[in-house]
Amino acid sequence: MRVKIEDVCMKGSSNLKQSDVVGKNGIYPVYGAAGYLGSIDSFKQSKPYVAVVKDGAGIGRAMLLPSNSSIIGTMQYLLPKDNILPEYLYYLIKAKHLEKYYSGATIPHIYFKDYKNEEFDLFSFEIQCQIINKLKIIEKIIEKQKKEMDLLDELVKARFVELFGDVRSNNNYPNVLFSECVEHSLRGPFGSDMKKSLYVPKNENTIKVYIQINAIQKNENLGDYYISKEYYDDKMYKFEVFPNEYIITCDGTLGKLLKLSKNMEKGVISSSLLKLKLNYSLITDQYFEYVWNLCLLPQLISEARNACLVHLPSMKVIGSKKIQLPPLELQNQFADFVKEVDKSRLEVQKSLKKTQELFDSLMQKYFG
């Protein structure tokens, strides 16, 4: 029987904030976009349900959550009706890739009204159980392969510490201003210069607008925001971004990095991004990315301003931070090690890709 998402679940909202959970010592769990947050003395849902990230990083991601639990306000409750098993609803929502419904160039979000009409075939409980069991087995294989990837990441981190020590606290190497390691940088245009009313449908004469979701999800191909070549030539040309430049998120979800490839689509940055090119005579990509996440970003987040919507400080402030700068020869040793580990990572990725393709094909078969 062909049905819609709204036929098998009801939406629900939460007014819980993360601050309502932190430091509490209750017995009922509360979940956020990253998973378990803490426990409080009450619960919102008495039966198992599906939760979807509806705001910020990870939008569209689904979680199957237990009875007697709650979620915070950045999440959406999807409460199964009597015609569907909670686990089956979970796989259905995963299969529909709700992130495709995102809107908002600064903080991406999705709405139930936009995806409630997605259609799929609803089977009997017996067939639902068979499908659930098959998908669970494949997911366990995927989890094992992802664990291998995590172990390779840990190997790289261990090598970093072996070569450079704890760059947050020791003074083994000269301290330099971060600005010395940057060839050039530029914050995106004023929001009023990049309003939605200026966006046009993609055609052979349009210019892509890179937005936060590109860096958040580390995918330069996402997004369908474009401006006309005329507007680019008139006002936006100086905000063009080029291969080997980084784009960095500046609003809400702070400091996510993406280095653009040589195959990137010609485009400009939105108002919520910073573009930056390193001075490769002083610093390598591999060392920069580790130092950014270990040292610079935690400092910058602590100084983020505006209590309602946090913003990354200005490039002047970012450039004034000091980092330890080992000799380029040592940085290159680390870069070479990362490249070797990446070869092993590539093999695991190939296996993971095949397993994921099998999983995706079954998801399409059952829920397409």
| Cα(47)–Cα(333) distance, integer angstroms | 53
Strand partners, 298: none
Question: What confidence tens digit (pLDDT) does each residue in 132-153 have?
Answer: 999 999 999 999 999 999 999 9
DSSP-derived 3-state class of residue 106: coil
Mean pLDDT of 206-217: 95
- The reply to whether domains 2-122 and 174-325 share a CATH topology is yes
Mean pLDDT taken over the chain: 93
H helix and E strand count, the chain: 10, 19
Mean pLDDT of 308-321: 85
Residue 194 is predicted with a pLDDT of 87
174-325: CATH topology: Adenine-n6-DNA-methyltransferase TaqI; Chain A, domain 2 (3.90.220)
pTM for the model stands at: 0.66
- Asked whether residue 309 carries a pLDDT value surpassing 70, the answer given is no
Residue 55 is predicted with a pLDDT of 85
Domain edges within the chain: 2-122, 174-325
Q: Report the candidate in 71, 86, 3, 2 with the shortest Cα–Cα distance to residue 32.
A: 71
Question: What confidence tens digit (pLDDT) does each residue in 9-29 have?
Answer: 999 999 999 889 988 889 999
Q: String of b and e for 40-59 (b: at least 16 CB within 10 Å)? A: beebbbeebbbbbbbbbbbb
- Asked whether residue 102 carries a pLDDT value surpassing 90, the answer given is no
Q: Report the candidate in 59, 354, 364, 100 with the shortest Cα–Cα distance to residue 221.
A: 100
For the record, the structure tokens of 312 come out as 């990354």
- Asked whether residue 4 carries a pLDDT value surpassing 80, the answer given is yes
Q: Which alpha helices (H) appear in the chain, and where do they start and end?
A: 5-8, 86-95, 112-115, 125-164, 212-216, 229-231, 285-291, 297-302, 315-319, 328-367
Question: Alpha carbon 81 to chain centroid distance?
Answer: 30
| Cα(66)–Cα(209) distance, integer angstroms | 40
2-122: CATH topology: Adenine-n6-DNA-methyltransferase TaqI; Chain A, domain 2 (3.90.220)
Q: Report the candidate in 45, 4, 42, 47 with the shortest Cα–Cα distance to residue 26.
A: 42
DSSP-derived 3-state class of residue 3: strand
